[in-house]
């Protein structure tokens, strides 16, 4: 199980790859712990003027970082996006 601090560390490592995949310089990401000692969800909030394909960008992020690091997250850190 990951602690919130461990999830936050993985999220910090993932940020450059999120920026690259979504083509954004400034990111707003909220890390939500679903249950004490349970899995966490990192939600990337997309700006109103985001014109890209968010699903495709998330898949690109998976290719760049996610697939190589899921084992480190032990399936306890999930990435998603939401529109502002």
Domain span holding position 22:
4-83
pLDDT tens-digit readout, 8-26: 889 999 999 999 999 998 8
**Two tokens, residue 42:** 């990192």
pLDDT tens-digit readout, 22-81: 999 888 998 887 766 677 889 999 999 999 999 999 999 999 999 988 888 877 888 999
Pairing of strands 40-46, 77-83: parallel
Give the global pTM: 0.86
Residues in the chain: 84
User: How many CB atoms sit inside 10 A of residue 20's CB?
Assistant: 14
Could you give the CA distance from residue 18 to residue 22 in angstroms, rounded to a whole number?
A: 6
**Two tokens, residue 74:** 């032990």
Question: In this model, does residue 3 exceed pLDDT 80?
Answer: no
Domain count, the chain: 1
User: How many CB atoms sit inside 10 A of residue 77's CB?
Assistant: 22
Could you give the 3-state DSSP secondary structure of residue 77? strand
**CATH number of the domain that 28 lies in?**
3.30.300
pLDDT tens-digit readout, 64-77: 999 988 888 877 88
């Amino acid at each position: 199980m990951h602690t919130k601090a461990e999830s936050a560390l993985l999220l910090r490592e993932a940020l450059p790859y999120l920026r690259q995949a979504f083509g954004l310089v400034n990111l707003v990401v909220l890390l939500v712990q679903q249950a004490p000692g349970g899995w966490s969800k990192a939600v990337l909030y997309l700006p109103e003027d985001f014109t890209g394909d968010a699903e495709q960008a998330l898949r690109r992020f998976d290719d760049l970082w996610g697939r190589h690091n899921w084992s480190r997250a032990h399936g306890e850190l999930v990435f998603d996006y939401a529109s502002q």
